[in-house]
A and B are shown apart, each in its own frame.
Chain A
Amino acid sequence: MKDTLLKIKSEALAALSAENADIEALRIKYLGKKGELTAVLRGMGKLTPEERPIIGQLANDVRAEIEAEIEKMSSAAKTAALEAKLKAEKLDVTVPGSKIPVGKCHPLALVQRQLEEIFLGMGYSIAEGPEVEYDYYNFQALNIPKDHPARDTQDTFYITENILLRSQTSPVQARVMENTQPPIKIISPGRVYRSDAVDATHSPLFHQCEGLVVDKGITMGDLKGTLEMFAKTMFGEDTKIRFRPHHFPFTEPSAEVDVSCFACGGKGCRLCKGEGWIEILGAGMVHPNVLRMCNIDPEVYSGFAFGLGVERIVMLKYHIDDMRHLYENDIRFLHQF
């Protein structure tokens, strides 16, 4: 019986190591219910008690050895088969991906969002107001009475004598102040209208973003600090700002504000026309007449206001040389942002 077992073992191992061995068939032949080894083991009953453990041990060893060999062979075969499959499935990675449609935000909206985020972070809320506005809010409440020469700098579209298309976002200032007690901290982005024919740098419709802070003890230093922080966030940590005296009827003192050129850092280049500075906004301390007209006591409260042109920033930021692109909406333009 021992010989039979050893014979089965050598035969099985030989068969398994043969080329193209059918592993599964051999497993059935030797280890299956009707297999050769099983048949031998069935004959164990005829052995003497002394022989039984010895032969039993041998039988188990043989079985384990054949099983191990089968396991080894079948796993190798599986690996080979998998490798072959993977090889056959190789793809050309340079074939373009499926088209997943993705739209782009308009550059004006992108920059407006960025402006909003900066000021939201500084504790401002976003106020809105009508675009078709009363003359009162657009001019009179801002210290620009009828027939004031400052009206000439903003050629205004009129609907009736007293209703117009707002020529600035500043009327929102007056509306907010009328309805809110300080502290007030708002920005107000939106569309404004002026009677300028369309060309590379003008449009009868454009966007401004207004800012207004009114509280006790607001100083011009606060205005400067605020705009400096804005400029650094918008244009980069190294940005400097410069105030130039100016005149707006609704602020006093008033300033035009330049930022150091973010293309050349102030050395002078094509973007800043060699100046090293780029004008981006107007600002000032809210005129006491404006506060008074909105029922805020200028002896108690002070405030600052500023306004910037969104198109101008968009054009500077993305080096857009013609404002018309912004309203023509050619998707070859829109896709660049």
Chain B
Amino acid sequence: MQLSMNWLADFTDVSDINIKDYCDRMTMTGSKVETYEVLAEDITGVVVGKILSVVPHANSDHLVICQVEIGAESPVQIVTGASNVFAGAVVPVATDGSNLPGGIKIKKGKLRGEVSCGMLCSIGELGLTTHDMPGAIEDGILILNDVGLADAPIGEDIRKVLMLSDTAVEFEITSNRPDCLSVIGLARETAVSFGKPLNIPEAPKPAVRNDGETIEKYLSVDINNPTLCTRYSARVVKNVKIAPSPLWLRMRLRASGVRPINNIVDITNYVMLEYGQPMHAFDYKCLDGSHIIVRNAAEGETFVSLDDQQHTLDAASLVIADEKKAVALAGVMGGLNSEITDETVTVVFESAMFHPGNVRVTAKKQGMRTESSARFEKGLDCENTMPALDRACELVALLNAGEVVDGTIDVYPEKKVPFTMPLDAEKINTFLGVNLTREYMADVFHSLDFAVSEDLCTLTVPTYRDDVRCMNDLAEEVLRIYGYNMIASTLSAAATPTVGARTERQNFDMHLRDMLCGMGLDEIETFSFISPSYYQKIRLAETDVRRKSVVISNPLGEDTSVMRTTMLPSMLKVLSDNTSVKNKNVALFEMGKVYLPTKEGELPEEPGRLSIGFVSEADKTGSGFYRMKGYLEAILYIAGITDVDYVSCDSEPTFHPGRCAKLYKGDKEIALFGEIHPAVAENYNFVTPVYVCELAMNTLFDVRRLMMDYKPLPKYPALERDFSFVCDEDTAVGTIAKEIKECGGKVVESAELFDIYRGAQIGEGKKSVSYAVMLRADDHTMTDEEADATVTKILDKLAAAHGITLRK
């Protein structure tokens, strides 16, 4: 809502208050000021002048030299290229040293040898349009004679003559206060905020033409759907003379951000701004018959709005219709078929009340939010239709725009009953933590137009304040006037002791995050929605279950249109973006969620996931795989998880079939990891191997070690034996470790791989694998003989079961 301070002055006087203080105080009492603009502040030194003579410029075929009277001792000479100047014309003159909008400075100068002491201005140069100044032309000097200002005093400041000086204050009105989307509403708030008197005139009584004709001769109205239209008031104006509105009205509209059109349309806008009640005016002669029906649209009914847009309506929409056609979309916009034109002679003014939700849905569906629908959808006051309608008619008379026909149509099936409620001062004080008297509160409510009972115990809420219904609402009214910041800070919220603690899972995640950082991985945050094409990019099969995503029905764009079912595309994208700007040693992790659809109409599952990814050096051996496995082993170590299985996996299309594995604890899959497939690498423009991992956090948490049980430190020394085995190239080294542990039994404390060697001495298709084995008994010092016996058992088993022998 953009408020003209000149207009506000009609109702309350705040001329003694500095505009900055005005805005601050209004904000602090609940009418938030976004910004304010002192209009025409940038126009200085522009005065009314009268052209005394116009002679051609000797050195130019398009310039003329004017002698202009500007109220100074002598006329000034001004050279202009405009062709519409003439002796006797009254014009705006930007004098030497003046300023114009856009930071333009006018200085005395010479044009082709002739002195020019300023500039004659066009409307554009004064920041105006032909809507603001009908009668003026765009490409020429503004001739004040053409706009009814021939008598403007010479030398007068143009801002005064054109009524340009005003201050426009932009309010951000919250949706609960549609009454403040009006000059009167804001005047009321202003008066309360500054303790100023408020002068709202009594209900306007427009002068009517007493020629015996009454509105019944012209019109009858029926409301078919009283739920969606709770009141319909109308008046008729005849012998209308469509013309521009007077300057003062145009300038008020302009200061309010509304474009002047013609007197009748301007009146509807003026009243809407002043009273907050949207009005509609339509051309009576365009009605088929004299019967107005407020009805639901027929399914599929078409309607062309004032802005020449074709709409197809559904049965939920409400229209204002004559007997044959819709003439307006209720509360949203009028129809082109009954638009006010220069030929209009009889006008129907409509001032009605429509259902907020219905207007909102219709406006949204038809894609036309208007000033009218924006007000209706917040819920307006039924009681306001008549004062607004009468004000419109009063303006008709004032502007001499036509003759108001006697009588009013007012269909109001169920008169609104004012809401009354108790004023419980004690409760309000306790709730807010303040100590105000009942009298103070009563004063606040009185100034807010509430009726207060004599005993100060009962309030009647104004009909335009449907937002006030319970004690909390009253508390807010009192508080915003008393001052939100007058409340003393207390902390009795701590009266009931509560323990502030993370859950075990929250702690688990937090510690893991810290550990991952400690391992040298940078944490990233990526969007939860991705493009469905990303599944293609990571080569998921068409039938892959992971392609089944939660789909956003109204996405911003394709690239954020589905909720991810895997974190890998996000990770790969970030790795790729970093690589493309030549960042080195990129190693990242993200802890987030994926969104897995469940049943139709139910919420998806949102399991936690951890993704890890890094860009590796170019390397044939796949060392990055073992680095990734190292991260996983570290995570398992932190979570206290042992006895896991790494199972080679060649069926994940995102991964290199020979360098991919799944990590299991029993039958629970914890993670999938490996080197990405060369085709995926190409999709993301990687030139060196990239390794990624996706880990199921919920599963990891489920299989974590629950109890931290202390195990005594060993009392007896261990024996360490190193072995180098020779086995076939395709023997998994894990097999050897597994056999050592199983065969050796509990005396095998550990078996650590320390070398894998391939070479001529070993032979083609063979490799040498070296283990350091620690043997220890927990109840005595192990002898060499005991150790030898265990070793022999292991070696026999390896030879017999796998053909693995000691390297000679």
Residues of chain A whose beta carbon lies under 8 Å from any beta carbon of chain B: 100-106, 108-109, 113, 116, 119-126, 130-134, 146-150, 152-153, 157-160, 162-163, 165, 183, 185, 191, 193, 195, 197, 204-205, 213, 215, 217-222, 224-226, 228-229, 242-247, 249, 252-255, 285, 287-288, 302, 304, 326-332, 334-335
Contact = CB atoms under 8 A, between A and B. Distances in A.
Contact of B556 (A159, A204, A331): A204
Contact of B518 (A102, A246, A331): A102
Given A157-B553, A247-B174, A329-B588, 18 more contacts: A102-B520, A103-B521, A131-B528, A132-B604, A149-B360, A152-B175, A185-B493, A204-B529, A205-B529, A218-B493, A225-B490, A225-B491, A226-B491, A243-B484, A244-B32, A246-B174, A253-B476, A329-B577
B593 interface: yes
B665 to A, nearest CB: 25
9 contacts: A106-B522, A123-B499, A126-B506, A149-B377, A153-B175, A220-B487, A245-B28, A304-B493, A330-B581
Interface of A is mostly: mixed
Interface stretch (B94-102, B204-212, B426-434): B426-434
B517 A217 contact: no
Nearest to B595: A132
Nearest to B355: A147
Contact of B525 (A108, A120, A147): A108
A247 B28 CA distance: 13
Q: Size class of B's contact patch?
A: 35 or more
A226 B378 CA distance: 33
B583 interface: yes
Contacts of A222: 433, 490-493
Contacts of B492: 217-219, 221-222
Given A159-B551, A220-B487, A103 B520 contact: yes
Interface stretch (B51-59, B271-279, B467-475, B534-542): B467-475
Residue of B32, B524, B526, B529 with most chain A CB atoms under a 10 A cut-off: B524
Contacts of B603: 130, 132-134, 163
B84 to A, nearest CB: 45
Interface string B454-484: 0000000000000000111101100110001
A331 B432 contact: no
Given A330-B581, A331-B578, A245 B472 contact: no
B490 A120 contact: no
Nearest to B471: A288
B497 interface: yes
B337 interface: no
A170 B639 CA distance: 33
B60 interface: no
A327 B493 contact: no
Contacts of B588: 329, 331
A193 B563 CA distance: 12
A131 B500 contact: no
Contacts of A329: 522, 524-526, 574, 577-578, 588
B501 interface: yes
A146 B357 contact: yes
The 10 closest A-B pairs by CB, nearest first: A101-B520, A221-B433, A247-B174, A253-B476, A219-B433, A245-B30, A147-B357, A225-B489, A243-B484, A120-B500
Contacts of B485: 242-243
Given A191-B528, A243-B485, A245-B480, A120 B502 contact: yes
B633 interface: no
A224 B361 CA distance: 38
Nearest to B484: A243
A106 B524 contact: yes
B550 A104 contact: no
B554 A215 contact: no
Contacts of A149: 175, 356, 360, 377-378
Residue of B487, B519, B551 with most chain A CB atoms under a 10 A cut-off: B487
A139 to B, nearest CB: 13
Given A101-B587, A126-B506, A330-B577, A157 B480 contact: no
Nearest to A185: B498
Contacts of A185: 493, 498, 500
A221 B521 contact: no
B489 A327 contact: no
B39 interface: no
A112 to B, nearest CB: 10
B472 A252 contact: yes
Contacts of A157: 552-555
Contacts of A160: 553, 601
B518 A103 contact: yes
Contacts of B378: 149
Contacts of A287: 472
A183 B492 CA distance: 12
Interface string B170-213: 00001111000000000000000000000000000000000000
B589 A302 contact: no
Contact of B175 (A122, A124, A130, A247): A247
Contacts of A229: 491
A303 to B, nearest CB: 9
B69 to A, nearest CB: 45
A246 B32 contact: yes
Contact of B496 (A150, A165, A183, A246): A183
Interface in B13-61: 27-30, 32
